[in-house]
Chains A and B, each alone.
Chain A
Amino acid sequence: MATLDQVREVLGAQILVGNDLDQRPVAGGYACDMLSWVMSHAQPTDVWMTILNSINVIAVAVLTDCACVLLTEGVELPPDVAARAQDKGVVVLGTQASTYEASARLHAFLNQHP
């Protein structure tokens, strides 16, 4: 299975918080900015793509146990949210790409690396 480390490289994403990306399997993605939808749909092997950067994003990432949060559109991670992510062991990546572009690239890559 693909790892988050490989996925990060393919997406050209930056690591904002987290380590041991090679230990995290990735099998899919979920793109959504409504937390209740994410909570009921995101899987532990999903990259969650969002433009949300509030503290609650970390809570939802912990609840779903998703592989990482990928902040798209160059959205920045506020320091208090970064600290919470660090504390809870949540990996946060960042990219300038839109959620659409990131999803498309992730999908293409995962198709070749099932």
Chain B
Amino acid sequence: MIEPVKLEYKIRGSDFINAGEASSGTKKALNRLGVSPAAVKRAAIAMYEAEINAVIHADGGEAEVFIYSDHVIIRIIDQGPGIPDVSLAMQEGWSTAPDIAREMGFGAGMGLPNIKKHSDDMSIETEIGKGTTVTITVRFQV
């Protein structure tokens, strides 16, 4: 099997200025590898939502991206507070975003549902007080 292309990024907490660097870097890499624009867009949106969640809700974390020939696996890992009730968090409209994030246009409670919508597979591993890992798979062909 061909080794995947691996990308790694640091995500800084509460840094709204640079938030999105991991997803825009990944977007560029996927474009360069000739992945279809539609698949690139889905991956970039899903990853941006997860990245922003790490910035807003978990004081930052890391991103690991594995690009294979026909799909990409994106993992956003944080050591934040964890998610007490994942099924509640997955509901459209549920949000605990602080005012500072809301003033910037976040906090609709649509990020996790968006990740689900734009990916082929999504999983959340989370532990209270330990952190959260969101794993996103996007296939290149429909």
Interface residues of A (CB under 8 A from B): 33-37, 39-40, 50, 52, 54-57, 59-60, 62-65, 80
A15 CB to closest chain B CB, in angstroms? 22
- Are A55 and B105 CB-contacts (below 8 A) given A36-B49, A37-B110, A40-B110? no
DSSP class of A's interface residues: helix, strand, loop or mixed?
helix
Q: List 24 A-B contacts (CB under 8 A).
A: A34-B108, A34-B110, A35-B104, A35-B108, A36-B108, A36-B109, A36-B110, A36-B114, A39-B45, A39-B48, A40-B110, A40-B117, A50-B105, A52-B104, A54-B105, A56-B52, A56-B104, A60-B105, A62-B24, A63-B23, A63-B41, A63-B48, A65-B41, A80-B17
- Are A39 and B114 CB-contacts (below 8 A) given A56-B19, A56-B105, A63-B44? yes
- B-chain residues with CB within 8 Å of residue A36 when the two chains form the complex: 49, 106, 108-111, 114
- B-chain residues with CB within 8 Å of residue A59 when the two chains form the complex: 19-20, 24, 48
Chain A residue at minimal CB-CB distance from B21: A59
- A-chain residues with CB within 8 Å of residue B110 when the two chains form the complex: 34, 36-37, 40
DSSP class of B's interface residues: helix, strand, loop or mixed?
helix
A33 CB to closest chain B CB, in angstroms? 6
- A-chain residues with CB within 8 Å of residue B13 when the two chains form the complex: none
Interface residues of B (CB under 8 A from A): 16-17, 19-20, 23-24, 41, 44-45, 48-49, 52, 103-111, 114, 117-118
- A-chain residues with CB within 8 Å of residue B118 when the two chains form the complex: 40
Q: Which of A34, A40, A62, A64 contacts B105 (CB 8 A)?
A: A34
Q: Are A33 and B105 in contact (CB under 8 A)?
A: yes
B12 CB to closest chain A CB, in angstroms? 14
- A-chain residues with CB within 8 Å of residue B45 when the two chains form the complex: 39-40, 63-64
